[in-house]
Amino acid sequence: MITRNEKLAEFLKPGKRVHMVGIGGVSMRPLALVLKDRGISVTGSDMNSSGSTEELLRHGIPVAIGHREENITGADCIVRTAAARNDNPEIAAARAAGIPIFERAQAWGMIMREYRDAICVSGTHGKTTTTSMVTHVMMEARKDPTVMIGGALPLLGAGHRVGGGDTIVLESCEYCDSFLNFYPTLAVILNIEADHLDYFKDLADVQKSFRAFAELSTNGILANGDDDNTVETLKGLDYVSFGLGAHNRIRAVNISEDWSEFDVLCDGEHYAHLKLSVYGKHNTMNALAAAGTGWMLGVSGEDAANGLATFTGAGRRMEYKGEFNGAKVYDDYAHHPGELSCLIDAVRTQNYGRVVVAFQPHTYTRTHALFEDFIEQLKRVDVCVVAEIYAAREQNLIGISSKHLVEKIPGAVYCETLPEVTEFLRQNVREGDIVLTVGAGDIYRAGEALVK
């Protein structure tokens, strides 16, 4: 019996034309570039022009702005982002015309089958940073990897790389069970929390998805042995655990106060001494996972240490934007309460005068489902300004607004637009502060406008 994924393989060949709906997305863009590098004719469409669509145009990939039936003319198949539903004009037209439609994750899955080592990095938090760290390790080890990351990595000058080796490294997202289309030889699980509750019913449903993902791996599972949800999810499976506890096969010991320097023990033996340019407990865990990945693939501790020493951060992960009025301005993609907690914890170790956060909630369903948790974290900062919710793929059927968050956070300020956020920061930031623009939408524009 021919599976749907195997049918897709017929179209991922030179001479075929693939039309990509939502081509500007964080994993759609690199997929388009990888397919083009393989000799496939690629076209695409997106709702809005952006830096991503401009990059695709520079690489000779036609991008239509707006979704229209005529955009799919001449396509052999369609690859769509998870956010493109069946009522999308292009998807509807393709269905009517009998043009095969595949998911983005299915395309990545077919590509990774061609590699001996397929490293798939998953987790509710830390995927982009850890995938980037693993890329540094594999590059240092001269693996010449192919890479797909959900953010820009300075080492690559992009969020992807087409390598000539037999290793592929992919950020692997659970949303809509996307990573269940993958073929990992090594499945990395960083942590598991309730998220994407517009798709999953609850935490148990999320755990079920991660369990299925782990069971796909053909040559090993590396998972956070300090995370209760992960341990519960993987009960009964054979896996290599990493963490700080003595029960883990891969451990961090002799950790510095800011979490940036420590030793890595693998099965009780010294593997590497890591000195990072990023800080915070969450980045210690991310680096531990990256080093553990190297150890499981036979990379030397020296290569792992040298690779991680050159990692300075991924795009939109504590990304330094500049200074304003004597304050440092950073941008971070954190859009879940757990990520906010890690971010605030890390910043508190740096002894800034005040922590000033401009937060933009991401999607109505997430804001509603995790409402109290967001309040708990935002109360921890010294100055809090909240922009209106970034809709992303959703319509506001709940009737929720950032105003509702602000009402529960003493001293917080609501700004409907990003220029209002920038103006608030301009009027209130002072020397010695750290300013964080935080969220998965376009809140970074407020910080960029400030430093300009």
Residues 294 and 437 in one domain: no
Residues 302 and 329 in one domain: no
Residues 290 and 406 in one domain: no
Within its chain, how far is the Cα of 447 from the centroid? 21
Among 309, 333, 367, where does a domain finish?
Answer: 309
Among 309, 330, 357, where does a domain finish?
Answer: 309
The CATH number linked to 81 is: 3.40.50.720
Residues 231 and 186 in one domain: yes
Would 356 be classed as within a structural domain? yes
Angle, in degrees to the nearest 10, between helices 281-296 and 337-348: 110
The helix/strand/coil state of 113 is coil
CB atoms within 10 A of CB 219: 13
Overall domain count for the chain: 3
pLDDT at 30: 85
Residues 163 and 268 in one domain: yes
Residues 236 and 367 in one domain: no
Residues 95 and 205 in one domain: no
Within its chain, how far is the Cα of 50 from the centroid? 18
Residues 279 and 424 in one domain: no
Q: Are 397 and 367 in contact (CB under 8 A)?
A: no
Q: Which domain holds residue 344?
A: 319-451
pTM: 0.86
Residues 47 and 119 in one domain: no
pLDDT at 2: 44
Would 30 be classed as within a structural domain? yes
The CATH number linked to 348 is: 3.90.190.20
pLDDT at 7: 87
pLDDT at 48: 87
**Along the chain (452 residues), what's the average pLDDT of each consecutive run of 10 residues?**
69 95 89 90 93 92 97 97 90 96 93 95 96 98 94 88 93 93 97 94 98 98 98 98 98 96 98 96 97 98 98 90 96 95 93 96 96 98 97 92 98 98 97 97 96 93
Element (H, E) at 270: strand 269-275
pLDDT at 1: 38
Among 240, 274, 309, where does a domain finish?
Answer: 309
Beta bridge partners of 262: 274
| Cα–Cα distance measured from residue 420 to residue 98, given in angstroms and rounded to the nearest whole number | 48
Residues 296 and 333 in one domain: no
Would 110 be classed as within a structural domain? no
pLDDT at 3: 52
